[in-house]
Structure 1
Amino acid sequence: MAKTKKTNTSRKTKSKSSPTKRKGSAKKTTAKKTTRKRKTKKPSLFKRLIKWLFVLGLWGAIILTAIIAYYASDLPDITENATFDRRRAIIVKDRSGDIIARYGDIVGNKVGIEDIPPYLVQAVLAIEDRRFYHHPGIDPIGLARAMAVNAKAGSVVQGGSTITQQLAKNLFLSRERTLKRKIQEALLALWLEYELTKDEILTAYLNRVYLGSGTYGVDAAARLYFHEPVQNLSLNECATIAGLLKAPSRYAPNRNPSLSKQRAQVVLTAMVDAGYITEDQATGESKLPPKPIQKPTNELTSRFYSDWIVDQLNDLIGTPEEDLIIETTLDSDIQDKATIAIDTTIGRFGAEKHMSQGAFIAMRPDGEVLAIVGGRNYSRSQFNRATQSLRPPGSSFKPILYLTALEKGWDIDDTIMDEPITDSKYQPKNFGDRYYGEVTLEEAMTYSLNTAAVRLMKELGTAPVINSAKRLGITSELQPDLSLALGSSGVSLLEMANAYAIFANGGLQVQPYGILRITNNDGELYYERPNQQAHTRVFNSSNINDLTRMMGSVIEYGTGRGAAIGVPMGGKTGTSNESRDALFMGFTRNVVGVVWLGNDDNSSMKGVTGGSYPARIWAEVIAEANKRYTATPLHDNQARPSAFGRLIENLIFGGSNDEPQQERFIPREEIERRGGELEAPSSYQLND
């Protein structure tokens, strides 16, 4: 018992002393905890920032690597001889071999860096990439500088792409502005720098860069803008071409000469800053008189003709992808003369006469087209009024009516009544409302008597006349009514030229043509027109001879006297309803010509007839053309004689008499009383 108590007492004693021990123990524990807290203290903000930047950078690098790998896997096939997409180039030449038009994208001769003027290389480096020989294809310094300049200017005035990047873009990539394309551009630039030397990169760039007006490469630009190879360029010309790199169309010297000059001065200043030239050199170049920069005259005036040529390519040779050279029948001198004649006439009399447009075609009797003027100014309107516009030919259609009558057995001396028409709703009138009773077909044609022509149409019917028109090459739809006698249906000027060519050649079918030969740049032949072609006879030569006699009388005595050029010829005037169209069409032994004047909005002119300004334009141009060409007899595949040189008596082109026989015509005093104006505008309205 006692022992037990002792033990308990002892425990109690221990128990009493334990709080003290715990206290000390607690202090030790607290100290330990304090020590632990100091060891696990959070890092400073700076250290944590560094840590997270490292982590983010690592993940960013991983993601960037993945993006680059993804875009790299989608890179186009890159080879050292890569080509760039461009439109097929077409060069059109006239009959003398001179270039009259260029279509598509023109690539100049490939030139080595040693053949390019040092000034041009320096100008390009100064304005585009001064650190070209010091960066690996991507230029962070240049990019930063461009960003600073743009920020200061408040707009994008300087680019950050290197020449290598621009070459990569031109060779391999689309023009879209996306992150993907910029990354691929940088990758390709690095690849180009690895594969090629700096000079090879610069050479490739200068031979392929776009420089405006469809030109690729510095040689093409030099030839287009300065009409000389790149090797011959002066310092100022080099600066001008380098200035095109920023905005080729805006700074093209043939479009905006003043802006081009300003840009060239910027380039010269950059060359001074880069140490390539002195300030005196730059100042001296800026003071030089401007060199004429313009297209050759034939390129300015022949575009209507060349458009007509190019439109025929698909039918002739399909659509080859190669560049093409087309040799044509165009006579640039005749083309220029016709263009100037129309422009001058409208310029002098257009405002007074309310006359704003004109068209002209010159053709040889075998269909060889020498000139096409489709309007007054191609740069303002590319619509070709000679080949695309369908306008009423007025009385110039009447020869088709009279030829039909001759085919039906009528004679030029047969008579028909010229008097007011009162037995139908269609009641056309003659000029001045004057009528001459019984007249011969020749007289009716000579003085363009409307009522006589309509009566003849009633006798013949419209179907035979339409058939004759088709045989003469007119494919436009003709309305089968009496007004067709006065040329009421719309036809193209080219169709009428075709018809008059058949009149001139004695009745042989022809097809207007202008293409002689088509080749590629290597001389491979795609098409060549045969030298000799058989022509089908579509009208009896004796009837054509009678018709040409009648048309000769139009020039000698009638409405076409203003077109006379002192040689045997035939022709016909035409004036449509309310003087909306005025035409003259005619031919000599050697040349056919057709002229139209009017307005695109179909408004009426003031006092303009086919015998006035159109006849004068015809005479001015054809007088020259007739001297340049001689008649070439056509081969008749039906073995019938050509009308050339075998015309019957009294024909305007020969026979036993040099001049048409004078028979009974409207008295000359009547002609003089009217002041030579005999033709009435055709009236197509039906009278109630």
Structure 2
Amino acid sequence: MKRKRSNQTWWQRRVAGLSEKTRRQPQSLPPFSRKTWPLYADITVQTIKSLAYYFIGALFIGGCFAGGLLAGYFASIIDQTPVPTKAAMTKTLNNVSASTTLYWAKNVEISHVKSDLIRDTVSIDKMSPWVQKAIIATEDENFYQHSGVVPKALVRALVSEVTGIGSQTGGSTLTQQVVKMQYLSNETTFKRKAIEIMYALRLNHYFSKQEILQEYLNIATLGRNNKGQNIAGVQTAAKGLFGVDAAHLTLPQAAYIAGLPQSPSVYTPYTITGSLKPAKELAYGLDRQKTVLFRMYRAGSITKKQYTAAKAYDLKKDFLPQQSATSATQKYSYVYNMVYDQAIEVLAKQLAQTDGHSESDYNKNAALAQTYEAQAEELLTTKGYQVTSTLNKTVYDTMQTVLANNKNSFGQTYTSTETDPKTGEPTTITEPVQNGSILLDNDTGAVLGFIGGVSGELNHIYTTRSPGSSIKPLLVYGPAIENKLIGSETMLADFPNNFVNYSVTDYGNTIQNRFLSATEALKWSYNVPAVHLYDKVRQTVSVKKYMDAMGITTLTDRDYQTLGLALGGSDYGLTVQENASAFSTFARGGTHVDAYVIDKIVDPLGKVIYQHKKPKATQVFSKATAYIMQQMMHNVVSTGTAATLSWQLNFNDTNVFGKTGTSNDYKDLWFVGSTPGVTLASWIGYDNNNGTAHTLSTNASQYNINFWAALANAIYAKIPQSFKLTDSMARPSTVKSVKVNAYTGLPAADVSFDGTTYKLSANTLTSLYNDWEPSKSTANFAIGGNDEDYKLFWQHLTGANNGYGVVSKGNKRATVKKSTTSASTTEKKKEEEADKEDEEDDADEKETPSTEDKADTAATSSSAASSSSSQATTSSERTDTGRTQSQQGNTETGTGSKD
């Protein structure tokens, strides 16, 4: 019997005949040739198949693993998301206005957030059955059968998350769309989708299908009306497109409206001006209407006859002609804008933090901040959030009443006529003296009330202006005391000067020609001593770190490099809120907390998503420094530049302290004052936005002080407990009291100068120091001054009539005049005054130094070391920086040359 011939090649037969052991051993393949190529092809195919099987298996296993991970992630999201109660969902569902509500403190409503979205709501029984059928056939044909979601929604979300394909969620049920519009943001993340599905299931459980459908028909955005306004809800669309109520919509009209939700901006028939779109663009919406009609016919909602008739209907003739929209005025516009803007900032940072971005990243990345601000704005205008502010309505209203009663006293209102660039018509421009005022709670930093302005929309507590001399306690005297450079009675030079490329005079282009104490220099706000001291401070320590710690961020690096900053000269200046918040540092005992407006934000389901927490206070100054500064600045309101407050205030001013400020040419006038409980700041000035350069009168500083007093009195009558007038700061043990010579500001001693020994008299003052004590008097005892200045002093001390202490005009020394009073008589009088002050200090154990700055009212001061011919000197606060304020038009030049 013949053996059947195999179809295998000799090589295949050989391989097949090998034993298992042999096949496991490496075998060499024959050379590739025409005879062997089938073998190579067969091996290649087998290899590809094997790789394909491995790949499919790995893909399947990986898919299962990824699916398991995502399913677990989905479950964890659901587990971590609180199940909303029916009451919470009902409250949000009924809030069809879908806008955020802003509140004063204590849940007093301010207003709903304004939106260009116009919405009128009606019950479902007042909506045409056609529009109900059209929406269901178009958006969710299985609406009455499913339980709020369909499985494909979850599958689509998983696929989108894994592949990154399908950023548009499309196909969500009507229930899911209601959830997204009323409860959640529009971001398309897996987490939001998971929460959306869970909420939809709960919504379907709590409410009937008709209730859910009614909600959708009342909140869906539907393009623009014939006034160009954005509209939502079928009632608003019916009135705005066709001029009929929702109940009277015809089938063609209902089908058109039902087609709008898919892409309102594309399908709407109107432009932003309210005019009908061109025929080509209008066709998009009409084609969409025909699609809706077909789906209704396919679903059995309409007959073929109805479908054919509706399709043939000329809907364009039903569209309303263009009309003009009327705008409503917003009461409390300053409050509304302030709270709304602050809420956007807070919520944007909250959203960024939720997504894993640090506050530092947010602050440094403008594009990132803008992205989250847009999200925050969308949420506040489309969702029912609740934003509670710190503002006390009673306090705010009281401040506005005081403003109305006093604004005409600030200064002249200027009017001019300009051509409107849009209309070409002449228009009258009115420019009054503006005011920005703010009341802060010292303990928390909460803004209790404010004045945004006399007129207009610009909130003047946020505009930057030259702080004038109100910056001196923050920038100069506070850091000097903190760094043990001075005590309250340390002497400072006020003589003709020439700093590096900069010279300065006191207010009125005067020079005091004497050494005077830090207390007196601050009390009357003399410029020359302040510049000397600032020059010393900035050579010792970084003043920027103090300003940063007090929340002042508007000063530039160039500002800190110039001596004029000591007098308020800067590129931009400070805001009223910055100045007040920094000033409250002294009232707080040397620590600082930022001012804030937003207390709490609650989401549509009642969950608190933001609650202001009192931050850890920043230690800026020691308690000793804060105490000494309080004592020094108390004299501003008792005997200094704001001395008129002592008889204007309706409450005890024992624990009130403050500082005035005036920029060059009276462009900016300030008074910032504190009680133990609150800090109140007031600024007045012109905006000068149109290239004008209006300045205030020489009496305006007094008017601003009067206004501050009126504000303080009125506010105190409403919230007296907030002032905490009896809570004076306890004197820290680190405050050292030292008896110093009234002439040198140092402990008395025998002093040698220019070959002569001077025995200082025993008359003393009490000087306060931050945990240190000075050495005994030396020849060069003051900060600032040159050899000629000291020579003038020591010669005068022995009775020479050399012009020491005689006020001169310009940056030059006084002309020597004969005096009818001997030096010894002058010295004796000074000793008597110093001894008397020392006795008073010992009696009340406060050793309170006197300090004020002469702002705008001429004041007469007796010079402690002046000759009789110079005892009466007129001094008024003035700043002098030699700097141009580039954006505000403010200068601090005085008579000084540029720095």
Q: Same fold (TM over 0.5)?
A: yes
8 Å Cα contact 1:671/1:678 also seen in 2: no
Q: Which amino acid aligns with 1:544?
A: A
* Residue of structure 1 aligned with 2:611, choices 525, 528, 536: 528
Distance 1:88 1:547, change over 3 A: farther
Deviation at 1:126, TM superposition (A): 13
Deviation at 1:325, TM superposition (A): 1.4
* Residue of structure 2 aligned with 1:606, choices 672, 696, 702: 696
Distance 1:675 1:93, change over 3 A: farther
8 Å Cα contact 1:554/1:571 also seen in 2: yes
Q: Which residue pairs with 1:103 in the alignment?
A: 113
Deviation at 1:622, TM superposition (A): 2.8
Deviation at 1:329, TM superposition (A): 0.5
* Residue of structure 1 aligned with 2:676, choices 585, 589, 607: 589
**Aligned: 1:386 with 2:461:** yes
Task: Please list the CA deviations of residues 103-125 of structure 1 after superposition, one character each: whole Å capped at 9, or x if unmatched.
Answer: 35478796525699xxxx99x88
Q: Which residue pairs with 2:72 in the alignment?
A: none
Q: Which residue pairs with 2:494 in the alignment?
A: 418
* Residue of structure 2 aligned with 1:338, choices 392, 395, 399: 399
* Residue of structure 2 aligned with 1:573, choices 660, 665, 668: 660
Task: Please list the CA deviations of residues 152-184 of structure 1 after superposition, one character each: whole Å capped at 9, or x if unmatched.
Answer: xxxxxxxxxx46645654675323632333413
Counterpart CA distance in 2 for 1:325 and 1:340 is 28
Distance 1:317 1:612, change over 3 A: farther
Q: Which amino acid aligns with 1:596?
A: W
Counterpart CA distance in 1 for 2:283 and 2:574 is 55
**Aligned: 1:443 with 2:520:** yes
Q: Which residue pairs with 1:554 in the alignment?
A: 636
Distance 1:677 1:187, change over 3 A: farther
Counting matched residue pairs gives: 475
8 Å Cα contact 1:361/1:497 also seen in 2: yes
Deviation at 1:402, TM superposition (A): 0.5
Task: Please list the CA deviations of residues 537-592 of structure 1 after superposition, one character each: whole Å capped at 9, or x if unmatched.
Answer: 22110111000111111111111234452432111111112222111111111111
**Aligned: 1:396 with 2:586:** no
8 Å Cα contact 2:488/2:628 also seen in 1: yes
Q: Which residue pairs with 2:342 in the alignment?
A: 308
* Residue of structure 1 aligned with 2:325, choices 221, 241, 250: 250
Distance 1:543 1:314, change over 3 A: same
Q: Which moved more, 1:598-607 or 1:170-179?
A: 170-179
Q: Which amino acid aligns with 1:453?
A: A
**Aligned positions of 1:656-675 closer than 5 A:** 657=844, 661=848, 670=860
Q: Which residue pairs with 1:484 in the alignment?
A: 565
Q: Which residue pairs with 2:445 in the alignment?
A: 367
Q: Which residue pairs with 2:101 in the alignment?
A: 91
SS of the equivalent of 1:597 reads: strand
TM-score (norm 1): 0.59
Distance 1:587 1:164, change over 3 A: farther
Task: Please list the CA deviations of residues 595-647 of structure 1 after superposition, one character each: whole Å capped at 9, or x if unmatched.
Answer: 222222372413257732332332222333345164699xxxxxxxxx96424
Q: Which residue pairs with 1:646 in the alignment?
A: 730
Task: Please list the CA deviations of residues 183-218 of structure 1 after superposition, one character each: whole Å capped at 9, or x if unmatched.
Answer: 1353367479878999xxxxxxxxxxxxxxxxxxxx
Q: Which residue pairs with 1:512 in the alignment?
A: 595
Q: Which amino acid aligns with 1:112?
A: S
**Aligned positions of 1:602-641 closer than 5 A:** 603-608=693-698, 611-626=701-716, 628=719, 630=721
Counterpart CA distance in 2 for 1:89 and 1:132 is 23
8 Å Cα contact 1:579/1:605 also seen in 2: yes
8 Å Cα contact 2:521/2:852 also seen in 1: no
**Aligned: 1:428 with 2:508:** no
Q: Which amino acid aligns with 1:337?
A: T
Distance 1:524 1:445, change over 3 A: same
Task: Please list the CA deviations of residues 229-284 of structure 1 after superposition, one character each: whole Å capped at 9, or x if unmatched.
Answer: xxxxxxxxxxxxxxxx98797235x35xxxxxxxxxxxxxxxxxxxxxxxxxxxxx
Q: Which residue pairs with 1:9 in the alignment?
A: none
Distance 1:334 1:467, change over 3 A: same
Task: Please list the CA deviations of residues 52-77 of structure 1 after superposition, one character each: whole Å capped at 9, or x if unmatched.
Answer: xxxxxxxxxxxxxxxxxxxxxxxxxx
Distance 1:521 1:110, change over 3 A: farther
Deviation at 1:509, TM superposition (A): 2.3
* Residue of structure 2 aligned with 1:679, choices 852, 877, 880: 877
* Residue of structure 1 aligned with 2:251, choices 116, 137, 154: 137
Structure 1 gaps of 5+ residues are 1-82, 139-161, 199-244, 256-294, 634-642
Counterpart CA distance in 1 for 2:338 and 2:627 is 34
SS of the equivalent of 2:477 reads: helix
Counterpart CA distance in 1 for 2:385 and 2:489 is 55
SS of the equivalent of 2:101 reads: strand
Q: Which amino acid aligns with 2:284?
A: R
Q: Which residue pairs with 1:216 in the alignment?
A: none
Counterpart CA distance in 2 for 1:524 and 1:581 is 45
SS of the equivalent of 1:439 reads: strand
Deviation at 1:428, TM superposition (A): 2.2
Q: Percent identity?
A: 21
Deviation at 1:134, TM superposition (A): 7.3
Counterpart CA distance in 1 for 2:880 and 2:300 is 74
8 Å Cα contact 1:472/1:502 also seen in 2: yes
Counterpart CA distance in 2 for 1:304 and 1:358 is 16
8 Å Cα contact 2:399/2:715 also seen in 1: no
**Aligned: 1:328 with 2:389:** yes
Distance 1:528 1:663, change over 3 A: closer
Distance 1:466 1:583, change over 3 A: same
Counterpart CA distance in 1 for 2:499 and 2:593 is 40
Counterpart CA distance in 1 for 2:394 and 2:680 is 15
Distance 1:348 1:166, change over 3 A: farther
Distance 1:521 1:358, change over 3 A: same
Deviation at 1:679, TM superposition (A): 1.5
**Aligned: 1:474 with 2:537:** no
Deviation at 1:423, TM superposition (A): 5.0
Distance 1:170 1:613, change over 3 A: farther
Q: Which residue pairs with 1:173 in the alignment?
A: 264
8 Å Cα contact 2:437/2:451 also seen in 1: yes
**Aligned positions of 1:58-77 closer than 5 A:** none
Q: Which residue pairs with 1:213 in the alignment?
A: none
SS of the equivalent of 2:102 reads: strand
Q: Which amino acid aligns with 1:187?
A: K
Distance 1:582 1:172, change over 3 A: same
* Residue of structure 2 aligned with 1:456, choices 533, 540, 547: 533
Deviation at 1:443, TM superposition (A): 0.9
**Aligned positions of 1:198-347 closer than 5 A:** 250-252=325-327, 254=328, 295=330, 297-298=331-332, 301-318=335-352, 319=375, 321=379, 322-342=383-403, 345-347=406-408
Deviation at 1:447, TM superposition (A): 0.7
Larger Cα Rg: Structure 1 or Structure 2? 1
TM-score (norm 2): 0.46
Q: Which amino acid aligns with 1:420?
A: P
